[in-house]
Structure 1
Amino acid sequence: MTAYSFFHRVLMAAITLFGVAVIVFVLLRVVPGDPIAMMISPGASEADIAALRAQYGLDQSLPVQFWIWLTSVLSGDFGTSISLRRDVLELLAERLPATLELAAAALVFAVVLGIVIAVTATLLSRTKLSPLVDTLNGLFLAVPDFVWALALVLIFGVLLPVFPLSGRINPDSQEGFATQFYLLESLLTLRFRDLADISLHMIMPVLALGLPLASIITKVLKEALAEAMVQDYILLARLKGMSRLRLVLQEALRNAIGPTIALTGVQFTFLIGGTVIVERIFAYPGIGNMAIDAVINRDLPLIQGLVLVFGALFILVNLATDALVVAFNPRMEA
């Protein structure tokens, strides 16, 4: 990736994030409802209400409100949550690691499972099992993540209660962590008991988020492998006596992985968005779960901070995806 291309993408990312901030800021203030009304007590006076509105800058005009908020954000001040009465940046710093670990675990699971199934399906393409693989993958593809979450709760939380239904870790173990990246920290510090506990809490959310993505990866990669297997270089390798497994893994997979990476990056952004519902179902303490509470309470500063975080994550994932695609296939460089 050239310096010009990198600068252009970063510039477009900044413009996109600014546009998201403007749209969300305006929409949150034109919808019906007053967030201050949810904070005041029944006996509050007009002076108390006016003071509270002034504290959150809601007594200014819309352009002035946006300018005050934008300059504050650029200086690292995301405001104070109306419902939780805490600094928004602190809340995001507490909850974001949980969502990042959950999304990363779901992505790793989906990529590994998708590649394994796609390669297996390619190896079985001339057998009677091939239609069965396609049928099962189509079934998994049709089921959204929240349906998987509800099904997993019913099966492994109620009928066969083998996994924890909610939370991220046993509350007794939570105090011993120096960071909010519990999974990574427990792995690096060799705290295997905590690692096992965290993994058990993550299994059902990871399955719910990863299974639909794994189905998409399987479908795209299987089609790319099928196209690669009829190319001349594959025929030449076959004439040299190379086995079918080696043909798929060593020759075809290397050339078919590019489109899969691009699609996986796009789908990963949707996976991060999907954590909102899945985290709610499993009471997982991430930014997705917090986003629902913020919307219910019409917590404007917290919603704005959450939207900026989601927008920044989407942009960073897309930039990383573009870099990976170019790394695997330099001819894709614009």
Structure 2
Amino acid sequence: MQLLRTLLGRLVTTLITLLGVAVIVFVVIRVVPGNPIAMMLPPGAGEADIARLNALYGFDRSIPEQFFIWLGGVVQGDFGTSITARQPVTGMVLGRLPATLELSVMALVMACIIGGFLAIWGTRRRETKTEAAIDIANGMALSVPDFLWGLLLILGFGVLWPVFHISGRVTPSLDLPFVTNFYLFESLIRLRFDLWADIVSHMFLPALALAIPLSAIIGQLLKQSLKETMHLDYVTLARTRGYGETHVILREALRNAVLPTLTLVGVQFTFLIGGTVIIERLFSYEGLGNMAIEAVINRDLPLIQGIVILFALIFTGVNLVVDLLYAVLNPRLRHG
């Protein structure tokens, strides 16, 4: 019952958040100077052409009227038509979403592996020079933004030592028998390991650039939680039974220390998806972030609105799932 009330409360909060985001984005991008219709018109277009396009995209109405017309379409899954591509926004956004999700998930997995390893190693070697070195490395990883890590990775592993691809999502010359846009997962299902290796080679550097700062955050928080947990009674009891330090960390301390990190990972994953905008542009990766930059440059208002609402939906959805997982895994909240 407690879990159900939590779920209903979070759903209501999510709907209010999405509505607020929709209102803010819709109003802000319309009061910014600039006319997107002017970018579509050929030289010598007359007033009649301008009026026709304004009526076609609803720009001849007041902002409240435009908003409610657009909101009615959104409820039915229609985000309008792109001004530059002249295609439905829904199809364009959903077509690029799998690429961004695969990149974000790969970056998250890499961050958890790197950060978790550093946290466990630092806890195992606490109060030594090894822990100090790990703390320095985490500080350096956090001090450098992800796009600068991307530039360094391009220089190191794309130019000086060309091991990985530094642009695109997959080599176009390969046979691409994909039904969905989830190339990475579909290539595994089809047992096309040649395609999978090529896709990973394209994704590795941008995913690593996103993962490095996040792995430092995960490593610092998890290491601190582990160090606090190592002084609790049940951990001391495990030591008296003769278990080694590594066994105590992995089997006794980790499962309780990981709860605060779980919440952090969920929150940071939403920021990770937003951070793909610059990284995708830097690596010419065909994802949602790259499309968002093009939409802003071209002042494609329907496409901008669709992308922002989708990002907001992902953010609120991930936070909702994390809250529920935390409630399920934490017995004090589950039985409270």
* Class of the TM-score when normalised by the shorter of the 2 chains: over 0.9
1:29-48: CA deviation from partner (whole Å, max 9, x where unpaired): 11100000100011111101
Note the alpha carbon deviations across 1:27-84, whole angstroms, 9 max, x for none: 0111100000100011111101100010000000111000110001111111110111
- The residue number in structure 2 matching 1:313 is 314
Alignment partners' CA distance in 2, 1:126 and 1:16: 44
2:124 equivalent in structure 1: 123
Equivalent residues in 2 for 1:260-279 (5 A)? 260-279=261-280
Post-superposition Cα deviations, 1:100-155, rounded to whole Å, max 9, x if no partner, equal: 00001111111111111100110011433221111112111211111111111111
TM-score (normalised: structure 1): 0.98
For 1:255 and 1:7, the matched residues in 2 are separated by 27
Distance in 1 of aligned mates of 2:126 and 2:5: 44
SS in 2 for 1:246: helix
Kindly provide the CA deviation profile for residues 254-285 of structure 1, in whole angstroms up to 9, marking residues without a partner as x.
Answer: 11000000111111111011000000000001
| 59-68 vs 2-11, which moves further | 2-11
- Determine helix, strand or coil for the equivalent of 2:173: helix
CA drift at 1:328:
2.1
- d(CA) in 2 for partners of 1:292, 1:131: 40
Alignment of 1:123-142 (within 5 A): 123-142=124-143
Contact 2:7 2:324 in 1 (8 A): no
Matching residue's letter, 1:103: S
Q: 2:247 is aligned with what amino acid?
A: R
Distance 2:9 2:118 in 1: 37
Letter of the structure 2 residue corresponding to residue 15 of structure 1: I
1:173 is paired with a residue whose SS is coil
Name the structure 1 match of 2:15. Answer: 14
The whole-number CA distance in structure 1 between the counterparts of 2:254 and 2:209 is 27
2-structure distance, mates of 1:174, 1:49: 44
- Give the Cα–Cα distance (whole angstroms) in 1 for the partners of residues 112 and 333 of structure 2: 22
Partner of 1:48 in structure 2?
Answer: 49
State the distance in 2 between where 1:165 and 1:127 align: 38
**Matched residue of 2:60: which SS?**
coil
Secondary structure at the counterpart of residue 27 of structure 2:
helix
Contact 2:3 2:327 survives alignment (8 Å) = no
Paired AA for residue 62 in structure 2 = S
Unaligned runs of at least 5 residues, structure 2: none
Separation of aligned partners in 2, 1:132 and 1:77: 53
Cα-to-partner distance string for 1:136-178 (whole Å, 9 max, x where unaligned) = 1211121111111111111111111111110000112364211
Matches within 5 A, 1:204-219: 204-219=205-220
Q: Note the aligned Cα RMSD (angstroms).
A: 1.1
Q: TM-score, normalised by structure 2?
A: 0.97
CA contact (8 A) 2:104 2:276 kept: yes
Q: CA deviation at 1:233?
A: 1.3
**Equivalence map 1:115-194=2 (5 Å):** 115-173=116-174, 175-194=176-195
Partner amino acid, structure 2, of 1:216:
I
* One-letter amino acid of the structure 1 residue matched with residue 101 of structure 2: L
Match of 1:32 in 2: 33
Matched-pair identity in %: 55
Give, in angstroms, the shift of residue 219 of structure 1: 0.2
Aligned residues: 334
Match of 2:6 in 1: 5
The alignment partner of 2:174 has SS state of helix
- Distance, in Å, in 1 between the alignment partners of 2:252 and 2:221 is 17
Question: In the alignment, residue 297 of structure 1 is paired with which amino acid?
Answer: N
